[in-house]
Amino acid sequence: MTIKDLVNDGATVIDVRSSWEFADGHVNGALNIPLDEIPQRIDEIKNLDSPFLLYCQSGNRSGMACGILQQFGIAKVHNGGGLADMRIALM
Active-site pick, 16, 56, 69, 89: 56
Active site residue 66: no
Structural contact between residues 74 and 52, judged by C-beta atoms closer than 8 angstroms: yes
pLDDT digit string (tens) for 25-73?
999 999 999 999 999 999 999 999 889 999 999 999 999 999 999 999 9
Half-sphere exposure of 32 (CA within 13 A, CB side): 14
Structural contact between residues 64 and 36, judged by C-beta atoms closer than 8 angstroms: no
Residue 1: what pLDDT? 83
| Global pTM value | 0.96
Structural contact between residues 11 and 51, judged by C-beta atoms closer than 8 angstroms: yes
Q: Which domains does the chain have, with CATH numbers?
A: 3-89 (3.40.250.10)
Taking all residues of the chain, what is their mean pLDDT, rounded to a whole number?
96
pLDDT digit string (tens) for 5-25?
999 999 999 999 999 999 999
Model confidence at 87, in pLDDT bands (50, 70, 90)?
very high
